[in-house]
Amino acid sequence: MENVTCPFCGLACDDLQVDVAAGMPVPVANACATSREAYRRLAPVPGLTARVGGTPVLLDVAVARAAQILGHAINPLFGGFATDLSGARRIVQLADRCGAVIDHMNSTAKLRNLLTVQDAGWITATLAEVKNRADLVVLLGTDAVSRFPRFFERFVWNEESMFDLDPRSREIVYVGQGLDMRAGCAPDGRAPTSIPCRVDEIGEALGAMRSLLAGLAPQAQVVAGVPLPQWAELLEKLRNSSYGVIVWAAPDFDFPHAELTVQTLSALIKDLNRTTRVCGLPLGGSDGDFTANGVLMWQTGLPFRSSFATGIPVYEPHLNSTQRLLDSGEADALLWVSAFNPNRVPPRTELPTIVLAPPGANFEREPDVFIAVGTPGVDHAGHYTRTDKVVALPLRKLREIGLPSVEAVAASIEASLQQAAN
């Protein structure tokens, strides 16, 4: 099968060739290591696919038990929330009915960007703009490829661009530590520029560059452990680029109050756009996070970490985090959805727990209810929103081994709740 969309990272590459002849999808072209590994773990697990208290049961029994748990809960938490378009629609509907809190498994990282959008906004570009236009690519605190393996292959070292730019002439700059910079070498062997500095000090460097741009030279001669002239030089590169792109990945900004770094970056990019064009490229979107959160946002007007407990959606990004609700004991049941990756299991908790995930998950504590679901783009068709949020790609069904979708299971749970209410 050609032109298959891979749902296993935020790039959602849709050029995979997958051999489906043997009933097990095997990528034969264009899949990266992450993708190949994800397809490998799809091997069907024999036996019944739903369990209650660790005992294999029929799907109906598991659904009824899940509905019972949610029906009794006063403050249920819907975590994980890794699913496709149709799954997300049903989960949001169920959350509204149950008065639940919805949070996403990637929300701690996502919040670093979302808070910036809510406080200041930003100027960004999408992948095809980078591919065809960027003459300078600056990577902040990320090498891109550790999380998004084909980033350079598909969007940086492409052979041709739409315009005058020769992609192989692009300048690459890494800012950070411990980055895998091999992908940043140009096809002709030209090495990228590297500015080694701690990721949690990048914000200071961005602030210094803003200051320099405003004509106010900082007094410090060393910023973030790097001599000021190096930052001045990077700033000049940005100012002189025709279309500079600054890449970051929120999960790699893993330090307290990283949203302030993103905010300073947003401000620097806005400043630069007074005279030239420079755009941000926030990389993310893995585990369907833009897909599911997109649905929640457009239906209800609010993002993850919103609560339906009072009959209206209420967004509290700090109060409604999964970890806090579990730690504080405010939640009294957990529904965890991880449709793309069985290894993303819920945080350890003693609460009544329902897990919807593909077969193969290893739990430290067996959930009260486990329902094996299909992987979108493998076991059923669906839709997946890519890292730049603009492009939603169709996911295709590659096999049939009888696994239900998140959508179907959530609908059954809701029907069971409805039945109990009547």
The site for other proteins (CB under 8 A) is made up of: 2-3, 5, 14-15, 85-86, 89, 93, 96, 114, 117-129, 131-133, 154-155, 159-164, 242-243, 270, 273, 276-277, 279, 294-295, 297-303, 308, 311-315, 381, 383, 385, 389-394
Closest separation between CB of residue 134 and other proteins, Å? Answer: 11
Closest separation between CB of residue 283 and other proteins, Å? Answer: 13
Closest separation between CB of residue 277 and other proteins, Å? Answer: 5
C-alpha distance from residue 89 to each of 122, 244, 295 (Å): 28, 37, 6
In this complex, which beta carbon is closest to other proteins, that of residue 24 or of residue 381? 381
In this complex, which beta carbon is closest to other proteins, that of residue 260 or of residue 302? 302
Q: Which DSSP symbol is given to 170?
A: -
Closest separation between CB of residue 306 and other proteins, Å? Answer: 9
Closest separation between CB of residue 8 and other proteins, Å? Answer: 17
In this complex, which beta carbon is closest to other proteins, that of residue 133 or of residue 399? 133
In this complex, which beta carbon is closest to other proteins, that of residue 45 or of residue 381? 381
Output Rg (C-alpha) for the chain, integer angstroms. Answer: 23
Query: For residues 321 and 311, what is the distance between their CA atoms, to the nearest angstrom?
Result: 19
In this complex, which beta carbon is closest to other proteins, that of residue 109 or of residue 345? 109
**Contacts of range 235-239, beta carbons closer than 8 Å, 24 or more positions apart:** 235/209, 237/136, 237/138, 237/171, 237/173, 238/136, 238/138, 238/209, 238/272, 238/276, 238/278, 239/213, 239/272, 239/275, 239/276
Secondary structure E strands in 284-420: 306-307, 314-315, 333-338, 353-357, 369-372, 382-385, 392-395
Closest separation between CB of residue 10 and other proteins, Å? Answer: 12
In this complex, which beta carbon is closest to other proteins, that of residue 59 or of residue 314? 314
CA 23 and chain centroid, separation: 29
